[in-house]
Amino acid sequence: MEPGVEELMPRLLPVDDCDLTEDFDPTVPPRTPQEYLKRVQIEAARCPDVVVAQIDPKKLKKKQTVNVSISGCQPAPEGFSPTLKWQQQQVANFSAVRQSLNKHRNHWRSQHLDSNVTMPKSEDEEGWKKFCLGERVYSEVDALSDNENLGIDYMKIGFPPLLSIVSRMNQATVTSVLEYLISWFGEKKFTPELGRWLYALLACLEKPLLPEAHSLIRQLARRCSEVRLLEENKNEEQISALNLIICLVSRYFDQRDLADEP
């Protein structure tokens, strides 16, 4: 090594010059400790002082998307911000729903499910999305065909979050299904089917929240705030539903930094 480099990178252990035989070949595996140390010295001497990565600019995307995480929610559209009184009433109603659910959980769990209800396994993400949202929403089919049976087909329109269904879901399943639906909502539009299930799953979440559930509901509130801000038609019913979810996450589950302030 050069003297300057020697001073900046001192040897941890003193190594004297090795007396090796003339037939020493640095390309073959070392046979003795001396040959190994000599080989290390030779490889270190060949290393350049500065290494520059070769980057092909053509492989870089012309427009790169940068996701910036914000701590709070986007404000509600002008004229659609919920009042504090409305938010307090929603929290009271939600608390009553949770108390009733906990009180009667064992009763509803004991009720027999209809023969057409087959709950997916907890890890079946696609199965749960279709179960909750229905094949039409999940597959983004706008309407029934004229030749289709007009009777209720829950496989197509999605199963509602009946008490007999959600009472059978343990906390791991509740958290998993919530994660699946939030993931779907991250790229899709808000629908009544989605809203009903999100409300029901929030009602099933036990407090204190597990870390993964805490992160999920904050993600959900932020997504709701983004969707209501981008709502072109300013559908009052839909914005009210989004306001409700943000309200429950922020004020019932104590995520106050996400709350809509009147």
Q: Is residue 107 part of a domain?
A: yes
- pLDDT exceeds cutoff 50 at 147: no
Residue 215 lies in a domain: yes
Tens of pLDDT along 46-60? 777 676 777 766 655
- Model pLDDT for residues 245-261, shown as the tens digit of each residue: 999 999 999 999 999 98
Q: DSSP label at 113? A: P
- What is the rounded CA–CA span in Å between residue 31 and residue 6? 28
Q: Lowest-confidence range among 71-85, 187-201, 208-222?
A: 71-85
Q: Are 30 and 43 in contact (CB under 8 A)?
A: no
Around Cβ 127, how many Cβ atoms within 10 Å? 15
So what's the pLDDT on residue 141? 58
Contact yes or no for 26/38 (Cβ under 8 A) = yes
Please report which helix (H) or strand (E) contains residue 183, including its range: helix 171-185
Q: What is the C-alpha separation between 33 and 39, in angstroms, rounded? A: 10
Identify the burial level of 200 via C-beta atoms within 10 angstroms of its C-beta, where 0-12 means exposed, 13-18 middle and 19 or more buried. buried
As a whole number, mean pLDDT of residues 185-199 equals 94
On whether residue 35 sits in a domain, the answer given is no
Number of domains within the chain = 1
- In this prediction, residue 25 carries a pLDDT of 76
Q: Which of 45-54, 186-195, 214-223 has the lowest mean pLDDT?
A: 45-54
Q: Is residue 21 part of a domain?
A: no
List the CATH number of the domain containing 97: 1.20.58.1070
- What domain range includes position 179? 84-140+153-258
Average pLDDT over residues 18-22: 64
Left (φ > 0), alpha (ψ -120 to 50) or beta: where does 61 sit? beta
Q: Where would I find the beta strands (DSSP E) of 219-261?
A: none
Q: Does residue 63 surpass a pLDDT of 60?
A: no
Q: In whole angstroms, what separates CA 164 from the centre of its chain?
A: 27
Q: Is residue 123 helix, strand or coil? A: coil
Q: What is the mean pLDDT of residues 60-69?
A: 49
Task: Indicate whether 193 belongs to any domain.
Answer: yes
Q: What is the pLDDT, as a whole number, of residue 156?
A: 82
User: What percent of the chain is predicted at pLDDT more than 90?
Assistant: 52
pTM: 0.69
Please report whether residue 61 resides in a domain.
no
Using alpha carbons, select from 168, 161, 221, 229 the residue that is nearest to residue 193.
161
Structural domain contains residue 254? yes
Q: Which residues of 153-188 are buried (b: 16+ CB within 10 A; e: fewer)?
A: eeebebbebebbbbbbbeeebbbbbbbbbbebbeeb
Residue 13 lies in a domain: no
Lowest model confidence (mean pLDDT) among 48-57, 129-138, 188-197, 237-246: 48-57
